[in-house]
Structure 1
Amino acid sequence: MADYYTPGEVARRFGLSLDTLRYYEREGLLTQVERAPSGHRRYRAGDVELLDLVRCLRETDMPIARLREFAELVREGDHTVPQRLQVLEEHDARLTERIAELRRRQEAIRHKIDYYRGVLAERGPEEKEEVR
């Protein structure tokens, strides 16, 4: 693994725009990004690992404020592991509830799909073209 990554490399790796990457920095989700002697931003391997987890949590709807809190705990060191565990367990519980809710919604959608397929099956070819 390389010692440092450019913003472009990190953005490509995670499918982010550079603006999103900068937003994560401004929101305190990443540590203070180092600068190369040339003044260009560069990310350490630890920054990239944290960003991977931040993206996972964000894509599963963890609010930015909670993400910031989690990132601050990471930066504070290993003595915050119990608090980090609590944050992740609470998020996991909310995610489990959300998945169950989405599954119920999906069943309702599938029921409606089956209903419409039944309606179309009862119609002639001319009538099928009219239903959209």
Structure 2
Amino acid sequence: MLYTVGEMAKVMHIPASTLRYYDQEGLLPFVERSSGGIRMFSEKDYEWLKVIECLKSSGLSIKEIRAFIDMAARGDESIHERLELFQSRRAAVKKQMEDLQATLDLLEFKCWYYEQAVKDGTEANVKAMTADQLPEPYKTTKEKMSMNKGI
């Protein structure tokens, strides 16, 4: 089955202008055009677009994604380079996830902290708690935040 830009955009849940931009930037050299010049996307193109979106979400620039597409066009001679690229992106995403988890942990603690303070009508009771008195998930968080009392 073939899809127009608009149809593929709906399938991908992205604006059609994004697909047009990708094409202008050289990210869609594999997409065929109808006799009238209309881009026609296949199921295989969909898979490529998913990889492009993955790389974009992982933090690669359009220029870096274009380099990946150029690598893929070179075939087997670039498989080691492509493996290294994906390993690098995987490591970067894992690091981002760890950083986001730390951010979420702090936000969770602060929500609990201020919910307690609102319930008590003061921060004094929460500030006075030792790490041992805190609910389990927040024990290490307060220790890490000991310098941020009252923030």
Q: Is the 8 A contact 2:72 2:78 kept in 1?
A: yes
Q: Which amino acid aligns with 1:15?
A: H
> Counterparts of 2:106 and 2:80 in 1: how far apart (Å)?
39
From 9, 19, 22, the counterpart of 2:20:
22
In structure 1, the residue matched to 2:43 is 45
1:71 matched to which residue of 2? 69
Residues 1-132 of structure 1 aligned to structure 2 (within 5 Å): 2=1, 4-31=2-29, 33-123=31-121
Partner in structure 1 of residue 142 of structure 2: none
**C-alpha distance in structure 1 between counterparts of 2:77 and 2:7, whole Å:** 32
Unpaired runs of 5+ residues, structure 2, are: 122-151
If asked which structure has higher relative contact order (CA below 8 Å, sep 6+), I would say 1
- TM normalised by structure 1 equals 0.83
Show structure 1 runs of 4+ deviating over 3 A: none
| Secondary structure at 2:116 match in 1 | helix
Residue aligned with 1:85, SS = helix
Q: Which residue of 1 aligns with 2:128?
A: none
Report the identity percentage: 30
| Unpaired segments ≥5 residues, structure 1 | 124-132
Q: 1:104: how far off?
A: 0.8
TM-score by length of 2: 0.73
Change over 3 Å in CA distance of 1:75–1:44 after alignment to 2:
farther
CA contact (8 A) 1:25 1:32 kept: no
- Measure, in 2, the Cα distance between the counterparts of 1:64 and 1:103: 27
Q: How many residues matched?
A: 122
**Structure having the higher Rg:** 2
RMSD: 1.7
- Whether the 8 Å contact between 1:31 and 1:47 is mirrored in structure 2 is no
